[in-house]
Amino acid sequence: MSSPKPQEGTCGPTDLVGPESWSKVSCPCCISAQVEPLVLIQLAENVQPNTKQWIMAMISAPQVSGGAGLLAHPGEDASWGRIVVAAPRCSLLKATEDLGLCKADTDGNMITFSFTDRDKFSNIGDMQTFLTLAERQYIVKYALESMRAMKDLRIPGISGDKGVLKSRQSIFQKLQKAGVILDVFPLRHEKKLKALGREWYSQKSLWGQPLDRIHAYFGGSIAFYFSFLDFYTWALVPPAVVGLFITFFLPRWGSTDTPDPVTKPESPDGDGDQSVSGLMVQAVFSMIWSTVFMELWKRRSAALSYHWGSITLTERFQEPRPGFTGILGVNPVTGRMEPLFPDWKRQVRVGLVSVPVVLLFLGLVVLGMLGFYYCEAQMASFHKESGSIITAILSYLPSVIHITYTNMLGNAYRNVAQRLTDYENHREESSYQNHHTTKVLVFTFFNNFAVLFHIAFYKQDLNLLRKRLSSLLIISQVVNQFTEVFVPYIVDRFYSSPEKELKEDDPEADHLQAEGSLPAFPGLFAEYIELLVQFGYLSLFSCVYPLTAVLLLLNNITEIRGDAYKICCLFRKPFSPPETGMGVWQAAFELLGFVSVVSNCWLLLLAPRVKAFTLDAGLNTATVLVYAILVEHALIIVKLILAFMIPDEPDWVRIKREQIEYRSMKAVSQQKVKRASASELPPSKS
């Protein structure tokens, strides 16, 4: 098979082919269209030629007969175990309607795409302008995953149970489970990627990401992550300014308990009142800031969702996710044959297995912490008694053991959380993700904040808290940047260099080879967790260490570039579905906002200044506590009112959304009238 020449004017990611060498298309509209290779399917090495032929035939088969309605290409000579997939125009358009994407009409308004009314939409002639690259690639994945066996059949070239397909079974899932298909990934578009990188991580200016281009190239979920990172970084400016102001221009506000008694000597003269009001202002500011920030982000998120056409995504009745198992039966909702698993069994598994195991791990975290404190105290007294070098070195032992223990526990927990969620046997991908995320979040919170809460509320040592917080912030940033960007960069640069060189020499030939050699993108989970922990440090403990926001701001400016470089250069391009927002992470950030009100309120009470002030004012501890309770409850009420009062979407988005809804309602009712008048009502029999 000779490598076909690239066609003039084709701007596909690999200028692989003209239409002639692709599988036949049944639809008349798509014959003359140029073909753009979008997705690569990686097959196992031992796959038989007739199996590959059958897979390609299924991919090209129309959707009504269980195929994907796509175009398949067997790839070049050297890469036998690969199938390159493209999509004809009408399959792309039909899927756009299925997904409920909005597109700009000829007047420039975004409206839900309708295949019948397709001529109303602008750019409808050119699929590469009408849909983004990420959307086209996601649609291919979606079509591949929709392939179903229409009757019981056997996959050619695969013996035994592995090759048996039951009616309505997902072909793609079966092929993956049977080990025939090893991997599927979207092809990267070198030119676009380089242009994106120039604008994104190589730019000189401090701020501004090309969010629309990120959305076009990488797709919804990734674009939302970077948009949030962007917005969050901007939002850090006010608390950073306040933090700097408090630290450097109003040293008296934080003086009594600064960790730096050399430069700013204690001033015990009666400025307690000012100090207290300063702390108060900061705590209230922090509370209002976190609320307003999340509310404004919701508005920004709604605007982006409109702008990117994902405001009216269709909620579909999903097929079970690949890992789902159960007894074959009829789904009561859809009437399809599929594995069934009763809800109560899942609930029993969650309640009697997952919850106790998670609690056990939380207990282990606490145990480790207590053990650490105990050992440290023992060591310190031991060192005091016999102050030799050996005991001095030994006094570091508890810390080392504790860090090792925490790390091991974290790794074990990640594993366990995955397995527990697998065992819970969720039918829907979204439910699986929610349960998994919740498990990891609970543990991460505990693991990161238990020590800080212990120091703050049990030991009540705000100086130690401040030290711990600042070292955590600085160390974790350095470690993160190092492990996330520097190490992969080095590995990429020096260890995978031969392939790189090859690619530089002949960009066409081994393009697909290079594509496959990059590691898969690990997902945004770890990135979101990192942001959340940061946000936790800031919102939970900010009134103790005003510089938190400044440090986070600096971190985020590098984080944006690091993450951008990582996703562009160090990993294979991931699939990224259209999304309406951050999903479960939105809830996690909002929850943290609530905890922060409580935390700040009680931290304030423990501040030595406040303590001194209340004693000076002749209040006993009980009275102060009662006031604190009142303040806490009032702050929570204020927060709720604020969150309620700021609308979740800007007015113009609301109007646009309502316009879309109104049009679709009108369209449905007009259609009903047409159908009704077509079949006129016969006279009543009664």
Based on the shown chain and the rule CB under 8 A, indicate whether residue 651 belongs to the binding site for a copy of itself. yes
Task: Give the residue, chosen from 11, 29, 392, 403, that forms a contact with a copy of itself under the rule CB under 8 A.
Answer: 29
Residue 381: helix, strand or coil by DSSP?
Answer: helix
Beta bridge partners of 104: 110
- 558 near a copy of itself (CB under 8 A): no
Options 2, 8, 116, 249; binder of a copy of itself; rule CB under 8 A = 116
To the nearest whole angstrom, how small is the minimum distance from the Cβ of residue 483 to a copy of itself? 34
Query: Is 264 one of the binding residues for a copy of itself (CB under 8 A)?
Result: no
| By the rule CB under 8 A, 685 interacts with a copy of itself | yes
User: Residues 34, 233, 275, 437: which binds a copy of itself (CB under 8 A)?
Assistant: 34
Written as six digits, the tokens of 210 are 């090309």
CA pair distance 361, 413, nearest whole angstrom: 7
Q: Does residue 628 contact residue 613 with C-beta atoms inside 8 Å?
A: no
| Binding residue (CB under 8 A) for a copy of itself from 629, 634, 648, 670 | 629
Quote the CA–CA distance of 509 and 14 in Å, as a whole number. 10
Token representation of residue 456: 């703050």
Strands ordered across the beta sheet of 181-186? 71-73, 82-86, 39-43, 181-186
Q: Is 508 in the site for a copy of itself (CB under 8 A)?
A: no
Instruction: Candidates 49, 62, 125, 329: give the one binding a copy of itself (CB under 8 A).
Output: 125
Helix (H) or strand (E) holding 400: helix 397-424
CB 507 within 8 A of CB 584: no
Nearer residue to a copy of itself within complex by CB, 103 or 566:
103
Q: Which is nearer to a copy of itself, 454 or 467 (CB)?
A: 454
Phi-psi bin for 66: left (phi > 0), alpha (psi -120 to 50), beta? Answer: left
- Answer yes or no whether residue 458 interacts with a copy of itself by CB under 8 A: no
And the tokens for 305? 């969702």
Could you please report the per-residue DSSP string of 195-228? HHHHHHTS-SSSS---HHHHHHHH-HHHHHHHHH
Of 71, 90, 294, 420, which lies in the binding site for a copy of itself, with binding defined by CB under 8 A? 90
Contacts with 270 (C-beta within 8 Å, 6 or more apart), sequence order: 616
Q: How is residue 330 written in tokens? A: 């009829």
Size of the site for a copy of itself (CB under 8 A): 52
Two tokens at 682?
């016969």
Applying CB under 8 A, does 159 fall inside the site for a copy of itself?
no
Asked if 115 interacts with a copy of itself (CB under 8 A), we say: yes
Q: Which residues are within 8 A (CB) of 424 and not within 5 positions of it... i.e. 6 or more apart?
A: 346, 349, 350, 354, 432, 435
8 binds a copy of itself (CB under 8 A): no
- Interaction pattern, residues 60-89, with a copy of itself; x per rule: CB under 8 A: -----------------------------x
Shortest distance in whole angstroms from residue 612 CB to a copy of itself: 16
Distances (CA, A) of 395 to 368, 561, 592: 17, 39, 35
* Amino acid at residue number 686: S
Kindly state whether residue 676 participates in binding a copy of itself, applying the rule CB under 8 A. yes
- Nearest residue (CB) to a copy of itself, 327 versus 333: 333
In degrees and rounded to multiples of 5, residue 40 shows phi and psi of: -115, 130
Q: Which of 249, 317, 494, 495 binds a copy of itself (CB under 8 A)?
A: 317
Residue 501 binding a copy of itself, by CB under 8 A: no
What residues between 319 and 378 interact with a copy of itself by CB under 8 A? 332-334, 343
Instruction: Please state the closest distance from residue 53 (CB atom) to a copy of itself, in A.
Output: 28
Site for a copy of itself contains 122 (CB under 8 A) = no
Quick one: which H or E segment has residue 625?
helix 621-645
* 27: contact with a copy of itself by CB under 8 A: yes
Continuous segment of H or E residues that includes residue 467 = helix 462-481
- Residues 597-626 touching a copy of itself, rule: CB under 8 A, are 598, 620-622, 625-626
Stretch that binds a copy of itself, among 90-98, 201-209, 299-307, 534-542 (CB under 8 A): 90-98
Which CA distances in Å does 34 have to 84, 133, 476, 508?
A: 15, 15, 49, 18
Instruction: Tell me which of 2, 28, 206, 386 binds a copy of itself, using CB under 8 A.
Output: 28
Asked if residue 91 lies in contact with residue 166, where contact means CB atoms within 8 angstroms, the answer is no
Nearer to a copy of itself, 317 or 495 (CB): 317
| Choice between 414 and 454, CB closer to a copy of itself | 454
Q: Which residues bind a copy of itself (CB under 8 A)?
A: 27-34, 89-90, 94, 97-98, 114-116, 125-126, 316-317, 332-334, 343, 598, 620-622, 625-626, 629, 633, 651, 655, 658-659, 661-662, 665, 668-669, 671-672, 675-676, 679, 681-686
